[in-house]
Amino acid sequence: MKTTMVIPSYWGRKKEERDGKADAVYDHPTPLDAEGTLGRILDSLSVLRNKDFSLVVIGVPVAPDIEREVEAKVSSIVKETRIEVETLFFSYTHLEKIHSYLKDQGKEDFISLLQLKGYSSIRNLCIFLPHLMGSEVAILIDDDEIFEDERYIDKALEFIGQEYNEKRILAVAGYYLNPDNDFFLHKEALPWMTYWNKIDCMNRAFEEIINKGPRLKETPFVFGGNAVLHRDLFTQVPFDPLVGRGEDIDFLINAKMFGFPFFLDNELSIKHDAPPKTHSKWKQVREDIYRFVYDRSKLLTQKPTPNMVQVSAEELDPYPGEFLKDDLDERIFRSNQMLAMDYLFQGDKEGAQECLNNIFLARTEALPKKDPFQHLLELKARWKSLMDYFSSKKVAQEVSSLIQ
């Protein structure tokens, strides 16, 4: 099977520069004047025994005004690293060429589906580019990881496209190993987390799905930086650009609704050694609020639809299911009240106010403006049209020649 691995690399302003108000928000974009982790993951490719795959590295800037610098920086890292597989670098100039091609062909409606801002849009490029290159399988990796298992590629491809328990496997999830070679989250559970027990929920999910047999089992969660997707899935179902965070699990839910379950392989691991998140606790909670409110709304707005499966929050237990139920509003209210008290105790009135704002936003701005399920149906139809268009050998060859 022709396989393409895709690694997006996120870059921000130089260390002394202040973030712009319109800058895209990512977990830990590398400052332009820092070394970052991209070179490390590229170097670690050398441990892989099976190198029968292509590689795409996507340079992602946090803002348009640093696009040129980011493209030059990432391009230089790719060129300076000894990579033993066919490699394509992709960034804003390449995307502009694709947009221009689509305009020339009267296909402007496709342009909004191919963007270089936001996690979901970046993930869509991670499945669009393998399709453009004629690949049957896309392997999604992040640049803050390290390959240590020489058989990673063999394991990644072992089950994809095969039959298992009378189901065809089109999506395989791997998992992350911490620097200490453990996969559980070792974070202190603080009192304010009593009603926001994400760590406990995730660890219970890891215990059930990763730590226990059999090797392959259906999973309610997936890590976007260790996922294997088959063409028969990624040409049908896209990542949802309306989802700012948690795009990987939202994609799992979308795929499940269309009858494509994810299977976790408890031998498919990769070392995850990321820089610490720099956002405040209230902001991290706010990002979770938006994603959980949106996905709960998507579940609640499901309607009987041909060739689709109705998905319940219980099927996604313990994580993310426990955050997609009727008590989500109460969880948000109580946890943010308690976190606000923590901030006040520390003398941080601004942080406390932002916690109270979280409660307000959960009932206002976080609520979807459009029926999420209907949006998914329309998005899926548009995505399929895009991928069908690029299934043409003529179109694929013409566009590939523009970005080589």
Q: In this structure, what CATH number is given to the domain that contains residue 65?
A: 3.90.550
Tell me the pairing of strands 263-272 and 171-177. parallel
Residue 393 lies in a domain: yes
Which residue, among 142, 143, 145, 187, has the nearest Cα to 272 in the 3D structure? 145
Q: What is the mean pLDDT of residues 236-252?
A: 97
Supply angle C-alpha 230, 220, 202, rounded to 5.
130
- Which residues, in sequence order, are CB contacts of 51 under 8 Å at separation 6+? 45, 84, 85, 153
Distance CA 218, CA 246 (A): 19
Residue 188 lies in a domain: yes
Report residue 21's pLDDT band, with 50, 70 and 90 as the boundaries. Answer: confident
Helix, strand, coil percent values for the chain (each to nearest 5): 45, 15, 40
**In the predicted structure, residue 83 carries a pLDDT above the cut 80:** yes
Cβ burial of 92 (10 Å; 0-12, 13-18, 19+) is middle
How much is the pLDDT for 74?
A: 98
Give the DSSP H/E element, type plus range, for residue 381: helix 372-389
Q: How many CB atoms lie within 10 A of CB 304?
A: 6
Q: What is the mean pLDDT of residues 330-350?
A: 98
Residue 180 lies in a domain: yes
How much is the pLDDT for 279?
A: 78
How much is the pLDDT for 255?
A: 99
Distance CA 30, CA 35 (A): 8
Cβ atoms of 44 and 38 closer than 8 Å = no
Residue 363 lies in a domain: no
Cβ burial of 94 (10 Å; 0-12, 13-18, 19+) is buried
How much is the pLDDT for 223?
A: 98
Residues 226-238: tens digit of each pLDDT: 999 999 999 999 9
How much is the pLDDT for 277?
A: 77
Q: How many CB atoms lie within 10 A of CB 221?
A: 23
The domain tally of the chain equals 1
Task: Print burial letters for 249-261: b (CB count within 10 Å at least 16), e (below 16).
Answer: bbbbbbbbbbebb
Tell me the pairing of strands 216-218 and 87-90. unpaired
How much is the pLDDT for 190?
A: 94
**In the predicted structure, residue 283 carries a pLDDT above the cut 80:** yes
Q: Looking at the chain, how many residues does it have? A: 404
Q: What is the mean pLDDT of residues 338-365?
A: 98
Residue 356 lies in a domain: no
Residue 12 lies in a domain: yes
Report residue 271's pLDDT band, with 50, 70 and 90 as the boundaries. Answer: very high
Residue 315 lies in a domain: no
Residues 121-146: tens digit of each pLDDT: 999 999 999 999 999 999 999 999 99
Q: What is the mean pLDDT of residues 20-32?
A: 90
Instruction: State which residues form the domain around 28.
Output: 3-276+374-403
Calculate what percentage of the chain has a pLDDT beyond 90: 95
Residues 164-187: tens digit of each pLDDT: 988 999 999 999 999 999 999 998
Residues 200-231: tens digit of each pLDDT: 999 999 999 999 999 999 999 999 999 999 99
**In the predicted structure, residue 356 carries a pLDDT above the cut 90:** yes
Q: What is the mean pLDDT of residues 88-112?
A: 99
- Token couple for 60: 């992602």
**In the predicted structure, residue 61 carries a pLDDT above the cut 80:** yes
Grouping H, G, I as helix, E, B as strand and the rest as coil, residue 30 is: strand
pTM for the whole structure: 0.97
How much is the pLDDT for 19?
A: 83
- Which residues, in sequence order, are CB contacts of 53 under 8 Å at separation 6+? 3, 4, 5, 85, 139, 153
Mean pLDDT of the chain: 97
How much is the pLDDT for 15?
A: 92
Which residue reads 């936001």 in tokens?
118
Give DSSP secondary structure letters for 142-182: -TTEE---TTHHHHHHHSTT-EETTEE--EEEEEEEPTTS-
Distance CA 102, CA 97 (A): 9
How much is the pLDDT for 261?
A: 98
Which long-range contacts link 48-51 to residues 24+ away (Cβ below 8 Å)?
Answer: 48/147, 48/150, 48/152, 48/153, 49/150, 49/151, 49/153, 49/154, 50/151, 50/153, 50/154, 51/84, 51/85, 51/153
Report residue 20's pLDDT band, with 50, 70 and 90 as the boundaries. Answer: confident
Distance CA 382, CA 388 (A): 10
**In the predicted structure, residue 251 carries a pLDDT above the cut 80:** yes
Residue 335 lies in a domain: no
**In the predicted structure, residue 304 carries a pLDDT above the cut 80:** yes
